[in-house]
Structure 1
Amino acid sequence: MRVRRVVTTRVGGFSTGEFESFNLGDHVGDEPGAVAANRERLAGELGLKSVCWMEQVHGRTVAVVDGTETEPAEATDALVTATPGVAVAVLVADCVPVLLGDPEAGVVAAVHAGRVGARVGVIPATLRAMADLGARPGRIEVLLGPAICGECYEVPAEMAKDVERHLPGSASKTRKGTSGLDLRAGLWRQLADAGVGKIGVDPRCTFEEPSLFSYRRDGSTGRIAGVTWIDPDDD
Structure 2
Amino acid sequence: MSDVNYADITKNGLWKNNPALVQLLGLCPLLAVSGSVVNALGLGLATILVLVGSNIAVSMIRNAVTDAIRLPAFVMIIASFTTCTELLMKAFTYELYQILGIFIALIVTNCAILGRADAFASKNKILPSAIDGLMMGVGFALVLLAVGAVREALGSGTLFANMHLLLGEMGKGMTITLIDDYSGFLVAILPPGAFLVTGFLIALKNVIDQYREEKAKANAQPVEKVSRRVRTTGTIQ
Shorter-chain TM band: under 0.3
Q: Which has the higher helix share?
A: 2
For the pair shown, the structure with the greater C-alpha radius of gyration is 2
Q: Which has the higher strand share?
A: 1
Scaled by the length of structure 2, what TM-score is found? 0.26
